Amino acid sequence: MCNQTVSLAAAALETRGIATVVLQFMKDIALKVGPPRALLVPYPHGFALGRPLDAAGQIKVLKAALSLLERKDLNPPHLETYMEPLK
């Protein structure tokens, strides 16, 4: 349900002019709900940024997510896939 809840929060923020990016775990749910701008991560629930205490790996995910905000070529809703698997 978290996939949907963060997406609904994002919609409220976007409506008021705050650009958002949400992380998502499950592609089928992301497509059904349609968050405005999302990064699909290849990790299990509870591990949205990858491994615990892996600061470098987590920051890579965050940079990939935040970089979507600067893209001018996206059309809403946009779902990007992050490809870095857990090592």
Residues in touch with other proteins (CB under 8 A): 1-27, 29, 32-37, 40-53, 55, 58-59, 62-63, 65-67, 69-70, 72, 76-77, 81
Q: How far apart (Å, rounded) are the C-alpha atoms in residues 49 and 7?
A: 17
Q: Which is nearer to other proteins, 9 or 87 (CB)?
A: 9
Q: How far is the CB of 87 from other proteins (least distance, A)?
A: 15
First-residue to last-residue Cα distance in the chain:
27
Q: Determine the residue type at 23.
A: L
Residue 57 CB, shortest distance to other proteins, in Å, is 10
Task: Please choose, from the candidates 5, 4, 47, 39, the residue with its C-alpha nearest in 3D space to the C-alpha of residue 23.
Answer: 39
**Residue among 52 and 87 whose Cβ is closer to other proteins:** 52
Q: How far is the CB of 84 from other proteins (least distance, A)?
A: 12
Query: Which amino acid, one-letter code, is at 22?
Result: V
